[in-house]
Each structure stands twice: as structure tokens, then as C-alpha cells.
Amino acid sequence: MSRVMAKRVHKALADDNLQTALTRLFGLIKFVRQITFANLDFDALSQEIRRIKENSIANLPQLVEQFKSQAAKAGAVVYEAEDAEAACEYILKLAQEHQVKHIVKSKSMLGEEIELREHLESAGIGVTETDIGEWIVQLARERPAHLVGPAVHKTMEQVAELVSKATGQELGTEPQALLDATRRVLRRAYIEAEMGISGANIAIAETGTLTIVTNEGNGCMATTLPPIHVAVVGYEKIVPGWKDAAAIFRLLSRCTAGMKMPVYVSHITGPSRTDALSGKVLYGAGGPAEVHIVFVDNGRWQMRETEEFREALYCIKCGACLNVCPVFASVAGQTYGYIYHGGVGAILTAFLHDVDEAEEVASLCLGCMACKAACPARIDIPRMITRLRASLAEEKGLPWLNKMAYRGILKYPDRMRKLIKVGTYLQRPFVDKDLMIRRLPVPLNSLTKAISLPALASEPLLEKLTNFQLPVPSDKPRVALYAGCVASYLYPEVGEHVMKITDECGAKPYYPEGQACCGAPAYFAGDVETALGLAKTNIVALEVKKPDYIITVCPGCAAMLKKEYLNLTVAEPRWNQRARVLAERIRDFSQLVLELTPSTREKPLRNHKVTYHDPCHLKRGIGVVNEPRELLKREGFELVEMAEADACCGFGGHVVLSYPELSKSILNRKLDSIEATGVEMVVTNCLPCVLQLRGGFDKRRSHIKVMHSAELLADTFMMGR
């Protein structure tokens, strides 16, 4: 986190116009997404795109050759540019040779990346952006705020002023009038331009074809009306054939704007040609006489060589990840600083622009994994973010505070316990009667800005569980509790409830001593070494008495134990094998209770409505969605679903510490959708989520109760059985 980024975040959150516009845009996006994704086999379609992109990138050198020879056959000129400068220079020279004074340009992320417009303008050539949003942004001398709506951050009044100035007319704020005026200006630009510049969404090797997608129709005009067409294309856009392009169309616009198909798709194979006049092929028959295709490397080939980040090249720039990103919905694009936004943006920024800026972008990530679930190319964005942080930590070292926290405290459970003991004394002046901390002094005051915090428990879980510490041999399934830090030190009562309920389920619960922090905080901050150490500590601790199951109350820990330990130990086969055994034993609380007591019984009628919040790491981390709901219903609760039950609560990553204001904005959306259900209680299966939601409702002075499933069921479980 840096001050600059914190400032940008603050600015975006304080901008009422932006917030209103974003609320409207995301409402619309979510609405249309629901319609277009209904009855769609997203898994099958995205697997197909994944397969196509994997193949294409693997065979890229051959595909480039094939594309070049086919495009040449069709009369196009192909130029390969190593970097931004080479690409810009080639195009500038071409423009100067043809005495080009005006250029029309359709939207291209690569164009933004290589700063093509700026390059041409500084040489005295007029460039008009033709996507309406992009044109507005150009008039305002800004960079696009959003992939789909580049000018989403502008109000009607601002747009009216910009368009009035550009057209020399006094235009009011009537949208239709603004659009008509804009269309007239752009029409003139297409007709007058001597060159049209586009990107390409896809490049098809088998025929040397460029594929350009637009909804407004500007792509068709910018590439047909001017006598020269130049396309800037990233190598990663190449696919083998037309059928591959078809597979991409199926998801591209759905992901971008909730449309089944883009309104216009232009396939361009060579310049305009005819043999009508002399029997010989002549170019320039109503369309451009020259088509130039500029392939740009600018870091892409290096990315391809870097196994860990290669899959970022599978990105089809649809924006699906941004449309579901809670951070993006709060701050939009310009906050990110560079043109590539969101999670995948961090990786692209690192390779195609600047590593330090990439670190800033990555610092905004909640780790909620919504992007991964929405990606039509199934790119594991969260994993790459973790890798990026790890390689940055390796290169530059961790900040001293983090290093001390991870390597000096987290790593040693005893030290941590002692320190927290000290904390329980230090916190006393700030703890209210109901054991909440509502205000902390400087420099910790930012922590209690967004939420009220729970006090550290006077007795940690370990001290409370003396009864359960000795497992006795019996036929009952042995269940080890992995508590994690939040249950151990903040909510030990939840650990107790879990033990009691597991016992009532007919199992033998116990609490293996020697368990430590799961290592997630260190791991996701890039400290692989500490995380690996903690993984080994926990693997050893959780092998004691060979449990049949390991029950967890925090899905963050569960996902760490179940999935990341396998990744961490991959270089050490023996540890890896032990991690595998551990992984198979991991169960979420609700999952295990259902597994142990599968028989349903008559519902005790409670006449009590609750809503359920899906923790990110439970749903998208380890795939548990239905069990918590089923258990609630079985135990007689009436479930009222909230809108976007699986949206992050804002606690994820280090966002809650680094950007509390941002965390609060995300939390507020969650609290709003809980309140909108009208129920008095929200249940979830994650203690950090409980902390966040409870703290948030406390700040709102709301009466809505927040409960972990284990807490809710503690008193009533087995009643009436």
C-alpha cells in the first residue's frame, strides 16, 4: 500500500458523482448478466475458451507465421514491433508518408498501452477516438474509467459541457440531443480521415483475418471509410481458426455487457479489392487500399516464457472480472493508476508496464476470487496475485512491519499467545461493557473507523478446552478441531460450541495442541517461507491421533489447509503427501455436521427467518455452497436469500487494514442487501465475516444479529431429536 494509492481510493470514494454512476452501471450490468447467463452452460463454454487459449499460446510461434503468410496472401502488410516505441514509430512514419492529417481510431487497449494517440498527436496529427465513451474521455483529457463505459465517471452536465465545446453548439443535458450531436461530429471525422486505426479482438491464423467487435458501429466505419487501415494487435490475440473465434464470441459480449453477441463483428482479411474493372485484382474498391497489421510484443513473449504468469495471456479483455470485482465497483478504473484494472490488470501491468505500479494494483485485491469464477478463460487471477506478491517480496524484501509480524510472531504460537495476553490488558481502557471496542487512539484509530471491533477474549480457546484435550480410543469418528486465530483469540466460544455439537453428533472431538496460525496472512502477502514453516507445524499437529476429520470454522484457514499447503509443499514430496492426507480430512462445520448426522428428522418448528452470507473462501475457495443452507433449513430455520449472497463482505486481503475506507464501502453494500431482506439475523460460516458484519451493524446501531452457524445451533441442536 502506498500513500498515493490511498489518496486515489479516498478521492474515488468521496466523489459522489462517480459513486452514483457506478451504482447505476453495476446495477445494470448485474441485471443483464442474470438474464444472459441463465440457462447457459458457462463451465463447458469457458473450458472450451481455456483450451483454445492454452493451445494458441503454446503454438504461438507457428500461428504467427501462418497468420503472416495468409495475411500477406490477402494483400495486408504485417509488421512486428518489439515494443511500444517501434509500433508507434512505424505507424507515425506510415502516416507521414501518406500525408495523413486526420486519423479516426476505434477503442483499443493496446493503443492505450503503447500511448499511440499521444504519440501521433505530438507529431501534429489529429486523432479522433470514435467510441463515444472514449471520445468523451479524450475531450476531457483523461484515461478510460471502465472497459465498457470509459466515461462512466462523468455526469450528464460534464458530458454536455464537453460535447458543447467540441461541437461549438450550446447543447442542453438531453441525452438524445447529445448523442445526435456526437454522431454528427464523428461521422464527419470518419469521412475526412485519411487513416483509420483499430485494435483487434481476435486474429485468425488460418486466413490472416482480423476480428473487431463493437456495439456502436464505429469499428465498421473506422476500418472501412479511410483509405488506410492500421490495426495494432497483441500477439496473444491469435487463435488458429474461425471456429475458435466462434467459441470466444459465445462468451465475450455476455461477459462484457450481458449481450449474447456484440452488435457488430468485422472480419477483415486484407484490403478492399475488386477484379471488376480489368479482370486484375485492384485494391481500394470503396474500402481501404492498404491494411497494415502491427503485432506488438512489449513484454508479451516474456510473459509467455514465464510459466507462472503465462495464463494472463489467455485474457480476452472482456471485463468480466471487473464486472464482479467488489473493489472495482467501489472505485472504478482511474484509481488503479494504469490502464489495466482489477486483478488481471495487476499482472498485465507488471509485464507490460511497470512492476511498482503493479504492486499498487495488487494491493487493492481482496482475494475474494469472484474474478476467477467469472473468467471465461478460467484464469486463476488470485493465484497469480499471490505469486506476484511472492516474487516482489523475494526481490525487494518484505516491509519491516510485515516481516516482524510474520516471522517474529505468527510463526511462533507461544510467542503469539503471550503477546495476545498482553493485549488483553492493554485493550481494557477501550473495551465497552458489551466487549466491543468502538474507538481506538491514534495511530490505531483507522481500525475502528469502519467497524466496531470485538475485544480479545480474556481466556483463549486453548485454555477453555481442557475437557476435550485427551482423545480416548473408541469406535466413534475422531474429529480434530482446527480453530485458527480468530476463533482462538476473539471468539473462543464458537470453538466450544463446535466441540459440543460435534460431540452430540456422536463423534469424538478433540483439540490438537501445537496448532498454529494457518499462515494465510503471510502467504497472501508474499511471505512463502513463513507460510511453509507454519504449514509444516500444522501438518504435524493435525496428524496427532489420526483424526478421521478436521473441522474448521474459518474457510480462509480451511482453504489454506486444503489447497495451498499442497502448493506450498510441492517441492517436497513427503510433506506433499502428508498435506494431501490433511486436505482430505478438512471439513467445514456445516459440511461435517450433515455428514455425521445425515438422517433428517422432523423439523422442529422455529418460525425464525434468517439470511445466509456466503463466505468467499467457503464458496469459491473450497466449493461449499449448499451445506450451510441445508443445515439451517433442517434445523427449522426459514432461509430468506439476500441479493448477491456471495459478494465479499470487504474483510478480505489486507484491504481492511490498508484501505479501511474501501473496506467500508464494500461492507456497506453487503449490509444494505442484508437489510433489504427484512430479516433480523444473518448467518454465515466464517468468523472474519462475522467480525466484519457484526462490527458494521454495530456502527449502524442496527439490531440485526450476526451469527456463525455453530453459535446459532449451539443451544438448539438435537432438541426434539
Residue list 204-233, contact with another protein (CB under 8 A): 207, 209, 215-218, 220-221, 224-225
> Rounded to an integer, what distance in angstroms lies between the CA atom of residue 346 and that of residue 354?
10
Rounded to 5°, the CA angle 348-559-526 comes to 45
**Nearer Cβ to another protein, position 262 or 454?**
262
If one asks whether residue 532 binds another protein (CB under 8 A), the answer comes out as no
Q: Which residue, among 646, 408, 402, has the nearest Cα to 524 in the 3D structure? A: 402
150, 234, 526, 660: which one contacts another protein (CB under 8 A)? Answer: 150
Binding-site member from 61, 175, 423, 514 for another protein (CB under 8 A): 175
> What's the grid cell of residue 465?
478446552
Minimum distance, C-beta of residue 237 to another protein, in the bound complex (Å): 17
Quote the least distance from Cβ 105 to another protein, whole Å.
14
Spatial contact of 226 and 203, defined as CB atoms under 8 Å apart: no
Segment 615 to 644, residues that bind another protein, using CB under 8 A: none
How many whole angstroms separate alpha carbon 619 and alpha carbon 631? 16
- Exposed, middle or buried: residue 639 (CB in 10 Å: 0-12, 13-18, 19+)? middle
Nearer CB in complex with another protein: 136/505 = 136
Name which of 208 and 495 has its Cβ closer to another protein: 208
Given the complex with another protein, which of 215 and 716 has the nearer CB atom?
215
Least distance to another protein, CB of residue 678, Å: 31
Q: List the one residue from 155, 167, 306, 446 that touches another protein (CB under 8 A).
A: 155
Query: Binding to another protein by residue 270, rule CB under 8 A?
Result: yes
Integer Cα distance of 245 and 356 in angstroms: 35
Which range in 114-122, 243-251, 385-393, 544-552 contacts another protein by CB under 8 A?
Answer: 243-251
User: Residue 443: is the preceding peptide bond cis (ω within 30°)?
Assistant: yes
The verdict on 156 binding another protein (CB under 8 A) reads yes
Q: How far is the CB of 373 from another protein (least distance, A)?
A: 25
Are 709 and 628 contacting, i.e. CB atoms less than 8 angstroms apart? yes
132 binds another protein (CB under 8 A): yes
Candidates 19, 266, 298, 677: give the one binding another protein (CB under 8 A): 266
Instruction: Give dist(CA 61, CA 52) in Å, integer.
Output: 15
Q: Does 21 bind another protein (CB under 8 A)?
A: yes
Give one word for 520, left, alpha or beta, with left for phi > 0 and alpha for psi -120 to 50. alpha
Sequence-distant (6+) residues with CB within 8 A of 3 are none
Q: Quick one: 148 or 655, whose CB is closer to another protein?
A: 148
Instruction: Output the CA angle 648-456-614, nearest 5 degrees.
Output: 20
Contact region for another protein (CB under 8 A) — 7-15, 125-133, 305-313, 357-365?
125-133
CB of 58 to another protein, least distance (A): 22
Alpha helix locations (H) across 74-174? 84-97, 109-113, 116-122, 132-139, 156-167
Based on the shown chain and the rule CB under 8 A, indicate whether residue 341 belongs to the binding site for another protein.
Answer: no
Q: Quick one: three-class SS letters along 116-136?
A: HHHHHHHCCCEEEECCHHHHH
Q: What are phi and psi of 283, to 5 degrees?
A: -95, 155
- Give the span between the Cα atoms of 494 and 690, in whole angstroms: 11
The three-state secondary structure class of 180 is: helix
Residue 179, interface with another protein (CB under 8 A)? yes
Is 580 a binding residue for another protein by CB under 8 A? The answer is no
Counting contacts by CB under 8 A, is residue 243 touching another protein? yes
> How far apart are alpha carbons 426 and 434 in whole angstroms?
17
Name the minimum Å distance from CB 51 to another protein: 15
Q: How far apart are CA 589 and CA 710, in angstroms?
A: 7
Q: Please identify which residue in 88, 100, 136, 315 interacts with another protein, judged by CB under 8 A.
A: 136
Closer to another protein at the Cβ: 33 or 619? Answer: 33
CB 291, min distance to another protein, A: 9
Q: Looking at residue 147, what DSSP letter applies?
A: S
Of 130, 298, 349, 448, the one binding another protein (CB under 8 A) is 130
- Contact, 406 vs 530, CB < 8 A? yes
Of the ranges 266-274, 414-422, 481-489, 515-523, which one interacts with another protein (CB under 8 A)? 266-274
For another protein, which residue of 112, 131, 496, 661 counts as binding (CB under 8 A)?
131
- Which residues 38-67 are close enough to bind another protein by CB under 8 A? none
Residue of 26, 249, 328, 406 that binds another protein (CB under 8 A): 249
* Interface mask toward another protein for 284-303; x: CB under 8 A: xxxxx---------------
- Smallest separation, CB 274 to another protein (Å): 5
Q: In the complex with another protein, which residue's Cβ is closer, 133 or 660? A: 133
Q: Least distance (Å) from another protein to the CB of residue 140?
A: 13
Q: Which of 3, 99, 124, 276 binds another protein (CB under 8 A)?
A: 276
Bridging pattern class, strands 209-214 and 264-268: antiparallel
Element (H, E) at 238: strand 238-239
Q: How far is the CB of 617 from another protein (least distance, A)?
A: 34
Site residue total, another protein (CB under 8 A): 71
Give the single-character DSSP code of 315.
-
103 binds another protein (CB under 8 A): no
How far separated are the first and last CA of the chain, in Å rounded?
53
Least distance between another protein and beta carbon 170 (Å): 17
**Positive/negative CA dihedral, 573, 574, 575, 576:** positive
Instruction: Say how far apart CA 267 and CA 213 lie, in whole Å.
Output: 9
Other residues' Cβ atoms within 10 Å of the Cβ of residue 60: 18
CB of 50 to another protein, least distance (A): 18
* Shortest distance (Å) from residue 121 CB to another protein: 22
**Residue 255 or 366 having the CB closest to another protein:** 255
